[in-house]
Amino acid sequence: MKTIYVTSDVTYVKDNYLSLVNRVTDPANLPEGVEIAATIILKVPEKLLLKNIIGLQLIGAPRFSFALLRNMLQARINDPRVKVLEERGIKVFRCSSVNQPAALQFIGDQKPDLMVNMRTRNIYKKPVLDLPKIGCINIHHGLLPDNRGTMCDLWAWIEGRPVGFSIHWMNEKIDDGDIIDRCEVDVKGCRSYIEIPYRSSQVEAGCLLRNLERIKREGHFVGIPNRTDNINYTRTPSPTKLLEIRRRGLKL
């Protein structure tokens, strides 16, 4: 099963997703018959990154800001994830969107069976979704079907709800498509949010590998219906909300 991973060049995860990329591309960990044909790395605009880095410092979220700055510099100068991929003979393709003509051409040339979206906010359009023989799956950082939107894990942590992620089939709607798997992440003892995406990435690796094996075996199987009347739709918190979070003793 030829698989393409898609991730962002800069994330909020402390190690910029290095440990996850390392684990899910290691031939010793991959299920039998699963081949990683390529990894697409989406470039986040530097202007947006710098705006966020400065803004996060100003509103009192230094850990966020530092992680973003460190990951940006590392990704631009000498990305260790790329080193891992190149050492394993995995093609690396850089672009700003999977919907670009050059990206569509690259993906089509690989003739993938499956694409996996890992921590990108890229919205896949139909031409991309139609390319893999089996389909596209997404790792969503909230427990579907209830938790949709962005930074679901942050809001769940703030509000004392279960924190976790879901893997689901992708379609043209955001956070839609049948749920393949849901995993809660143990955040006991976390006083700083920056620890949570890293803890989650450790669990995600094993969950993804387990489900790659199932997809290899069953193809595009029917998952759990992704429907509910109890939706928590979240967005990136405003500066005012972030200040309120800090006053409660939660570190950002």
Sheet containing strand 91-95, edge to edge, reads: 91-95, 35-42, 2-8, 114-118, 135-140, 164-169, 179-184
Q: Which pLDDT belongs to residue 250?
A: 75
Rg, the chain, Cα only: 18
What are the structure tokens assigned to 218, written together?
Answer: 């069953």
Residue 206's nearest CA partner among 66, 1, 12, 20 is 20
Residue 169, classed as helix, strand or coil, is: strand
Contacting residues for 240 by C-beta, under 8 A, at least 6 apart? none
Whether the Cβ atoms of residue 114 and residue 121 lie closer than 8 Å to each other: no
What are the structure tokens assigned to 136, written together?
Answer: 């596209």
Q: Which pLDDT belongs to residue 3?
A: 98
Q: Which pLDDT belongs to residue 147?
A: 93
Contacting residues for 239 by C-beta, under 8 A, at least 6 apart? 55, 58, 59
The residue with tokens 């995860």 is 13
Q: Which pLDDT belongs to residue 213?
A: 98
Q: How far apart are CA 110 and CA 129, in angstroms?
A: 14
What are the average pLDDT values for consecutive 10-residue runs of the chain, which has 252 residues?
Answer: 98 95 98 98 93 83 89 95 97 97 98 97 96 98 93 89 96 94 93 90 97 98 90 82 77 80
**CA dihedral sign, ordered 172, 175, 179, 181:** positive
Q: Model-level pTM?
A: 0.94
Q: CATH code for 2-247? A: 3.40.50.170
